[in-house]
Amino acid sequence: MKEYDVIVIGGGASGLAAAISSARKGAKTTIIERLHRIGKKILVTGNGRCNFLNASLQKKNYHGTDPVFIQNVFAQFNGAQILDFFHELGILSKEEENGRIFPRCDKASAVLDVLRYECDRLGVDELCSQKGVEIQRLQESFVINTNEGQEFRAKKVVLTTGGKASPQFGSDGSGFALAQKLGHTIIEPYPSLVQIKLDDEYLNHLKGIRNDTRVSLYANESLIDTQKGEILFTEYGISGIPTLQLSRYIHYPELKDTSMELHVDLFPEISFHDMKKMLIDRFQTLSYKSVEHAMIGLINKKMVLPTLSLAGIDKAKLSSELNSAEIENITHQIKDRRFTIKGTLSWRDAQVTAGGVSTKEVDDRTLESKLIPGLYFAGEVLDIHGDSGGYNLAWAWASGYVAGMHAAEPLKKRKK
């Protein structure tokens, strides 16, 4: 049986950060990872560019039963410190729209490489193709059993197994079972930052259309949230950052039995009144054209027929024949197109997991379990998730680094 000071279960972003901070404190540290290599999910973040941080980390960008939980963690390892951490490892960074921070080289592989090099420099062992299937608490140590029939002993354990999102990159939800077996409460996980499925007869017409919009989510006709940005219509529904941001609400337990709609405004920069006036002027100027042809150049050509059909207008009707009510109907379809929501795509398509280990049972300063001394949590396994834009990786780095630091600190004191 191999013995370590600290064993990190899960070799993702938070696991690597935990291992580095633990080893920097002098603890003999190893990472147990179920895949054949560590950090696989890092490689696909930010479309392979790795949006590893946001310039503004605020509570409003985080969600869970108790988002305030993040504050003591970021107080110990904040955005500036995360940036310094990566700069010291060799990553030059650049800031893009909405505070999104990327490596200057635009390569997620560079972020993973420098983390692995640092682990190697610090003597952190990587035990890949090993899945932790049981954690036993034995007096002042832990025994971890793997699917390969091996046992490892550690004074401290940091659980960084992630959630259930994107299981093809390593997160299969197994950490929830490990935590639950040790007595921890699991807030029911559900996919977040995931594409939304729509029930609409015109999806085949709309497929492939991109548009800068305002997208609003309604449940039982009550506004839940609004986001702005580029959307993409697909054969199943809708994608794009604004809709990903709204997707977390679709699985909210309190909204489970509600009727949900997505309202899409194709011209968010123009008021309803001004949009109608624009259409009146347009149809007067193009009075010799059919309504269908007069709409081309205003909105995507593929949207014209669905828009006119939903407005109840014959596409062949001359623009000069439109009355005020008909123009108002067209305005509604442009400014407030409504789609019935069917749900979301699966865990495989989700970027992040909502839900997880209850933060009520975890110390918000050290990230140590309040139930099992010596057990720590970090990253997506906890009931904390962030918006799109580098917030989730920021939480992974910060929580991992803080958990690893505190896991190693008591060991360092004892060695003295």
* pLDDT tens column, 259-313: 999 999 999 999 999 999 999 999 999 999 999 999 999 999 999 999 999 999 9
Q: What is the pLDDT of residue 411?
A: 66
For the question of whether the overall pTM of this predicted structure is more than 0.75, the answer is yes
CB atoms within 10 A of CB 392: 28
* Distances, alpha carbon 322 to alpha carbons 286, 293, 318, in Å: 12, 14, 7
Contacts of 379 (CB under 8 A, 6+ apart): 10, 12, 13, 14, 15, 160, 162, 395, 396, 399, 400
- Mean pLDDT for 206-217 is 97
At 383, give phi and psi (nearest 5°).
Answer: -80, 60
For 286-380, where are the alpha helices, taking DSSP H only? 291-295, 301-311, 324-335
Q: What is the pLDDT of residue 416?
A: 41
| Res. 256: pLDDT tops 90 | no
* Domain covering 2-191+352-415 in this structure, CATH number: 3.50.50.60
Q: What is the dihedral of CA 271, 277, 283, 285, to 10 degrees?
A: -120
β-bridge pairing 141-146 and 222-233: unpaired
Q: What is the pLDDT of residue 412?
A: 55
- Mean pLDDT for 160-182 is 94
Per-residue pLDDT band for 409 (boundaries 50, 70, 90) equals confident
Q: What is the pLDDT of residue 388?
A: 95
Angle, nearest 10°, between helix axes 272-285 and 324-335? 120
Q: What is the dihedral of CA 358, 364, 366, 367, to 10 degrees?
A: 20
Measure the CA–CA gap between 116 and 103, rounded to whole angstroms.
Answer: 16
Q: What is the pLDDT of residue 293?
A: 98
The answer to whether the CB of 336 falls within 8 A of the CB of 366 is no
- Mean pLDDT for 324-335 is 98
Q: What is the pLDDT of residue 50?
A: 97
- Mean pLDDT for 234-262 is 95
| Res. 413: pLDDT tops 60 | no
Q: What percent of the chain has pLDDT over 70?
A: 99
| Res. 406: pLDDT tops 60 | yes
For 40-191, where are the alpha helices, taking DSSP H only? 70-76, 79-89, 108-121, 174-181
User: Which residue is listed with tokens 């009510």?
Assistant: 325
| Res. 109: pLDDT tops 60 | yes
> What are 157's two structure tokens?
């354990």
- Mean pLDDT for 311-319 is 97
- Mean pLDDT for 333-344 is 97
- Mean pLDDT for 176-196 is 97
The answer to whether the CB of 45 falls within 8 A of the CB of 171 is no
Domain limits, CATH 3.50.50.60, in the chain: 2-191+352-415
